[in-house]
């Protein structure tokens, strides 16, 4: 089966020329081909180049998608979300708008524990139904691969319930879903004042089960004052590594806590948030290649400071973007929205924002060998946008410009 995309006004390949990621000045080069074409064979990219170079004989027996006046990009990769949840927290949003802080709301039993309470009362079937609805919208907004974390269960049964929902949805839905175990998201109410006991539950019961049943690829922890200290995270992440779970961290979000330095020490695949990263932390990420996943939607939603993306990129840190889609700190799954924020609030260029949402975002999930750019041999996860050039992605914000989504070589119908 051959599918040909022809007459592409701008083909944005994000070609890495064999590299896993793009850093520094190479992020400015999107490998753009004007008037391009792509040949897809089954689920993979067979060829891409200029229309003039496309041999007409290769179109014989091919399905043809005419992309005239439109642009083509690799599907967006969203490497950090908490998409499996129930309930909503619009009341907390309203409280923040009149001056309460995220931490104040959490200390009164709101925040993460608000959603935990709801998820514990929701059946697996209902959780799945809610998540499926969001995933459909996520695809329509151009995201073809997404990471989803547990962390709203915080006991053995409910953490497993969420991870089973994630892995089953990956089998059943077109979108690729990468699962992350985040048992260390908050201290559950039944362990208040007894954090070490909860950590013991994570280490002795949850992680061995998740590893044995292959319910996740990554293990994450919320490294933050009042949640899990660096020492706690070291224990949890190291235990995860023993059963094959690759390390990630939520770090330096609300306060500077040495989280980036810890991620570098542990050899994490990514460290996420980093609004309060230290200069030492930036250097540690630059030297180790740990990917910084930045979440500007959270800074917008919570009215917090933004991560110092400009400084990180200039110092050679690998930067990726993600939505962090969740009911408490970012109720948006729009990667283009994150790109607009990256440009207007974090001094990233449109080119850097696009690399951070495709190739580098795939690398944050250890998948950039097969995803994140339009190059021969990679998976045919491709989006067609109804805009005149790629700069319109961050520029014309608040509207979904996606015209077609091609996942694993198949044009999706919505």
The H or E element spanning position 410 is strand 410-411
* Comparison of 324 and 381: residue with beta carbon closer to Fe ion: 324
Please state the φ and ψ torsions of residue 132, each to the nearest 5 degrees: -60, -40
* Comparison of 288 and 329: residue with beta carbon closer to ligand NIG: 329
Tally of residues, the chain: 414
What does 270 interact with, of ligand NIG, Fe ion, none (CB < 5 to 8 A by kind)? none
Minimal distance, residue 312 CB to ligand NIG, in Å: 18
Cα–Cα dist 190/85, whole Å? 20
Q: Which of 99, 83, 94, 187 is nearest to 135 (CA)?
A: 83
Cα–Cα dist 120/86, whole Å? 9
Q: Which residues are near ligand NIG by CB under 6 A?
A: 82, 111-112, 115, 222, 250, 253, 298, 324, 326, 328-329
Minimal distance, residue 222 CB to ligand NIG, in Å: 5
Minimal distance, residue 102 CB to ligand NIG, in Å: 7
Minimal distance, residue 149 CB to Fe ion, in Å: 7
Minimal distance, residue 331 CB to Fe ion, in Å: 13
**Does residue 324 bind Fe ion (CB under 5 A)?**
yes
Sorted by sequence, the CB contacts under 8 Å of residue 184 that are 6+ apart come out as: 151, 199, 202, 220, 221, 222, 227, 228, 232, 233, 236
* Comparison of 118 and 370: residue with beta carbon closer to Fe ion: 118
What does 405 interact with, of Fe ion, ligand NIG, none (CB < 5 to 8 A by kind)? none
Could you tell me if 359 and 118 are in contact, meaning their C-beta atoms sit under 8 angstroms apart? no
Q: Per the structure block, which two tokens stand in for 54?
A: 């496309």
Sorted by sequence, the CB contacts under 8 Å of residue 82 that are 6+ apart come out as: 148, 149, 151, 152, 182, 324, 325, 326
Helix axis angle, 259-266 to 230-242, nearest 10°: 20
What does 81 interact with, of ligand NIG, Fe ion, none (CB < 5 to 8 A by kind)? none
What does 111 interact with, of Fe ion, ligand NIG, none (CB < 5 to 8 A by kind)? ligand NIG
Minimal distance, residue 329 CB to ligand NIG, in Å: 4
**Does residue 275 bind Fe ion (CB under 5 A)?**
no
The one segment of 37-45, 164-172, 211-219, 319-327 that binds Fe ion by CB under 5 A? 319-327
* Comparison of 47 and 93: residue with beta carbon closer to Fe ion: 93
Residues near Fe ion (CB under 5 A) are 324
């Amino acid at each position: 089966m051959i599918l040909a995309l022809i007459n592409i006004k701008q083909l944005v390949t994000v070609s890495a020329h064999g590299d896993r990621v793009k850093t520094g000045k190479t992020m400015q080069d999107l490998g753009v081909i004007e008037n391009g074409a792509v040949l897809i064979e089954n689920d993979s990219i067979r060829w891409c180049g200029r229309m003039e170079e496309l041999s007409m004989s290769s179109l014989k027996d091919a399905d043809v998608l005419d992309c005239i006046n439109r642009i083509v990009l690799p599907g967006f990769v969203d490497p950090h979300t908490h998409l499996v949840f129930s309930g909503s927290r619009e009341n907390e949003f309203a409280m923040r708008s009149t001056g309460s802080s995220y931490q104040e709301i959490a200390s009164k039993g709101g925040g993460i524990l608000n959603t935990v309470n709801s998820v514990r009362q929701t059946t697996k079937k209902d959780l799945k139904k809610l998540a499926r609805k969001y995933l459909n919208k996520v695809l329509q907004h151009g995201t073809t691969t997404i990471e989803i974390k547990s962390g709203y269960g915080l006991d053995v049964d409910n953490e497993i319930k969420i991870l089973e929902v994630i892995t089953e949805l990956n089998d059943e839905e077109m979108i690729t879903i990468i699962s992350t175990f985040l048992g260390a998201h908050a201290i559950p109410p039944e362990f208040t004042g007894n954090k070490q006991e909860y950590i013991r539950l994570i280490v002795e019961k949850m992680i061995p089960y998740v590893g044995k049943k292959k319910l996740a690829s990554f293990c994450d922890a919320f490294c933050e004052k009042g949640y899990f200290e660096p020492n706690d995270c070291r224990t949890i992440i190291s235990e995860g590594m023993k059963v094959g779970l690759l390390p990630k961290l939520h770090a330096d979000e609300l306060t500077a806590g040495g989280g980036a330095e810890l991620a570098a020490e542990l050899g994490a695949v990514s460290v996420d948030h980093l609004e309060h990263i230290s200069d030492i932390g930036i250097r540690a990420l630059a030297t180790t290649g740990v990917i910084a996943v930045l979440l500007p939607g959270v800074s917008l939603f919570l009215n917090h400071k933004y991560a110092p993306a400009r400084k990180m990129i200039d110092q050679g840190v690998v930067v990726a973007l993600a939505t962090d889609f969740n009911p408490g700190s970012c109720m948006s799954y729009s990667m283009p929205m994150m790109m607009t924020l990256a440009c207007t609030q974090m001094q990233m260029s449109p080119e850097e924002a696009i690399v951070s949402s495709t190739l580098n975002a795939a690398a944050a999930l250890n998948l950039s060998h097969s995803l994140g750019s339009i190059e021969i041999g990679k998976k045919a996860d491709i989006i067609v946008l109804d805009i005149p050039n790629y700069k319109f992605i961050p520029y014309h914000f608040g509207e979904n410009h996606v015209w077609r989504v091609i996942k694993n070589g198949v044009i999706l119908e919505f």
